[in-house]
Structure 1
Amino acid sequence: MKQKLVIGTRGSKLALWQANYVAACLRERYPEVVIELKNMVTTGDRILDVPLAKIGGKGLFTKELEVAMLSSEIDLAVHSLKDMPTDLPEGLILAAVTDRVDPGDALISPEYKTLANLPVNAKVGTSSLRRKAQLLHARPDLTIVDLRGNLDTRLKKLTTENLDAIMLAVAGLKRLGWDEHITQVLPQDICLPAVGQGALALEARENDAETLAMLEFLNHEPTRLATLAERAFLAEAEGGCQIPIGVYGQLNQQGQLSLNAVIMSPDGREAVRDTIVGSPAEAAAIGQTLAVRMLDHGGREILAKLFEAK
């Protein structure tokens, strides 16, 4: 067993909460091991004045941490799983996926409370193309405003930019104790979450057997299987985090893996939805199968138009 572990993390309040949560779990499990945190700045943190979709979604919040891992500057990195590309750099693997917190998307609107109550042409802030497409599908009249920055910055912009509402992930708000701001959790028939939303990912070097063994207890198998199907779906659809895809997997009461997904045009006008149920042991195949089926039934045309526009 290692005598010291260095955890790489971004410096935002949420990223630090996540890294400190993992550090606390490790300290409790291995009280004799020194656990250190190393703050790092990623590309996604530096570029705050350009929409994520325009600077490319893959690896914006993970690349610098991964370089540090490969050079043995840090032993592991803690990410929001939704920020992780489906293809990891050679030599790195997902060592553990933690128990998922609420995967939902929150509407924050102190005046209007719910999506249905927003006035015609209401201004809604979000940095997510996925949320934008699903919002516009439900409410084509809305004006979507790009919203970048950390959670506290985005909450402040609700007032400073005179927005009627903003959209944020429920999990992040709950982790920071800010869930009192939530006025509505959108139902999944309106807004399916991002791949891996609500789960934390622990990334480590593939050949670092000691670290991998020490992280095993943090893995939550039902969440790992569900998100494995989600990530397989995204990989098959050839999408990064900034294309309008929503997908959510869960183990049902019968022990089967259920996967719901939607592929949308950015304006929300075109949508392909589908569901698949199968054995958790075939999680990756379930995700791939659903993606192929949806691509064959209109999804491929929707994504082709998006890539042509870029």
Structure 2
Amino acid sequence: MTKNKIIIGTRGSKLALWQANWIKDKLERLYPDLVIEIEKIKTTGDKITDAPLSRIGGKGLFVKEIEEALFKSRIDIAVHSMKDVPAELPEGLHIAAICERENPRDAIISNNNKSLQELPDGAVLGTSSLRRTVQLKAIRTDFNIKPLRGNVDTRIKKLKNGDFDAIILAMAGIKRMGLENLITEVISEDTMIPAIGQGAIGIETRVDDEFINEIIKPLNHEDTAICVRAERAFLSIMGGGCQVPLACHAKILKQNNKTTINIEGILGDPDGKWSIIRGSRNGSLSQANILAEDLARELLDKGGNPNLLVE
């Protein structure tokens, strides 16, 4: 079956629309005769903005309604930030392509252009991410971390209004919004491991839609896909929800004509009984998922709980 028009489903935020239009532009360049439209879909996560995700059901709240539209064939493809996609997908849907990753690290935007270490004692930092919170506390125990949700513009407005001394955002989102000039500091991966899938855009489709699956193949970036799938394998072993701080980041290393993958992961304790358990794995690309799963089990064995819901 062929189509002369396809519909992209996306959230309606500026960043989500940037991502959907980025995919639209790439498809139009590949298939100039194809009519491509974008449909904005409001998700539960967009409607509830005054509570941390860990309390209201996790990041799957940003994809549920979009997946329902896919099932009903209202849309042909869904464009997601991969860090919003739960480990387990509904039967009949899959991530058919993962595009080349933008910078995956976190960044700080602060008043008075101060770095993390330059912020005053008791500085108020804005983030609703448990992952960021435990890693920030590992940097400085005096930080006063307060919840912050909303789109990029909303978060920056709250900073400028004086609600916070600094806020932490994903570097990828800041760059895509053209706001790099606001960045005070890009946080190294050694200091703060990024979220699973951070910086990568994924395309979700119906498994049985052969036409759509075929036309989006050129958008898949294999190195990025290997890394993100490994991170998601780690997430799957952990449980796949959003109530405990964790992070996993994979990157491909090419040295001396040898290509390997490095996977770093942490698991934190939101109750403060222990701080952060950290581990890593290195090995061949063909073993990426197995290495990630093994790392997740190691962290669970060291102090985690196999029934955890995680972020």
TM-score (normalizing by structure 1):
0.95
User: 2:105, 2:186 within 8 Å by CA — same for their partners in 1?
Assistant: yes
Which residue of structure 2 lines up, in the alignment, with residue 26 of structure 1? 27
Pick which of 198-207 and 181-190 moved more.
Answer: 181-190
SS at 2:21's partner residue? Answer: helix
In the alignment of these two chains, the number of paired residues is 305
Partner of 2:95: 94
Distance 2:270 2:118 in 1: 23
1:193-220 per-residue CA deviation (whole Å, 9 max, x = no partner) reads 0000000000000000000000000000
Structure 1 match to 2:184: 183
The separation in 1 between residues aligned to 2:217 and 2:243, in whole angstroms, is 30
Amino acid paired to 1:92 = L
SS of residue paired to 2:114: coil
Structure 1 stretches of 4+ with a deviation exceeding 4 A read none
**CA distance, structure 2, for counterparts of residue 241 and residue 19 of structure 1:** 25
Q: How far apart, in 1, do the equivalents of 2:113 and 2:266 lie?
A: 27
SS in 1 for 2:10: strand
Partners of 1:113 and 1:222 in 2: how far apart? Answer: 35
Distance 1:243 1:13 in 2: 28
**Which piece of structure 1 moves more, 50-59 or 171-180?**
50-59
User: What residue is the counterpart of 2:156 in the other structure?
Assistant: 155
Alignment partner of 1:295 is 2:300: yes
Instruction: Tell me the equivalent position of 2:239.
Output: 238
Instruction: After TM superposition, give the deviation of residue 110 of structure 1 in Å.
Output: 2.9
Q: Deviations over 1:133-166 (max 9, x none)?
A: 1101111111111001111001101022431000
Q: C-alpha deviations, 1:57-101, integer Å up to 9, x for none?
A: 141110000000000000001000000001001110001000000
Question: What are the Cα deviations for residues 175-205 of structure 1, in whole angstroms up to 9, with x where unaligned?
Answer: 1111111100111122100000000000000
**Partner amino acid, structure 2, of 1:261:** G
Compute the displacement of 1:53 (Å): 1.2
Structure 2 residue 47 is matched with structure 1 residue 46:
yes
Q: Deviations over 1:239-273 (max 9, x none)?
A: 42442111110110131111001111126651111
Question: Deviation at 1:51?
Answer: 1.4
Q: For residues 22 and 243 of structure 1, what CA distance do their matches in structure 2 show?
A: 32
1-structure distance, mates of 2:59, 2:120: 35
Instruction: Identify the residue that residue 70 of structure 1 maps to in structure 2.
Output: 71
How far apart in 2 are the matches of 1:241 and 1:279? 29
Q: 1:174 and 2:175 equivalent?
A: yes
State whether residues 148 and 155 of structure 2, in contact with CA within 8 Å, keep that contact through their aligned partners in structure 1.
Answer: yes
More off after superposition, 237-246 vs 4-13 = 237-246
| Paired amino acid for 2:191 | I
3-state SS of the aligned residue for 2:24? Answer: helix
Residue 282 of structure 1 corresponds to: 287
Does the 8 Å CA contact 2:134/2:275 hold for their aligned counterparts? no
Give SS of 1:158's match: helix
Q: Does the CA contact (< 8 Å) of 1:133 and 1:267 recur in 2?
A: no
Deviation at 1:16, TM superposition (A): 0.3
Q: Secondary structure at the match of 2:188?
A: coil
CA distance in structure 1 between the partners assigned to 2:240 and 2:267 by the alignment: 10
Which ranges in structure 1 are unaligned for 5 or more consecutive residues? none
Does the CA contact (< 8 Å) of 1:157 and 1:163 recur in 2?
Answer: yes
Q: Map 1:198-213; keep pairs closer than 5 Å.
A: 198-213=199-214
Given the alignment of the two structures, is residue 264 of structure 1 paired with residue 268 of structure 2, yes or no? Answer: yes
CA deviations 1:106-135 (Å, max 9, x no partner) are: 111131521101111110001211111110
Q: Secondary structure of 1:252's partner?
A: strand
Contact 2:106 2:171 in 1 (8 A): yes
Aligned counterpart, 1:57: 58
Any stretches of 5+ residues in structure 2 without a counterpart?
A: none
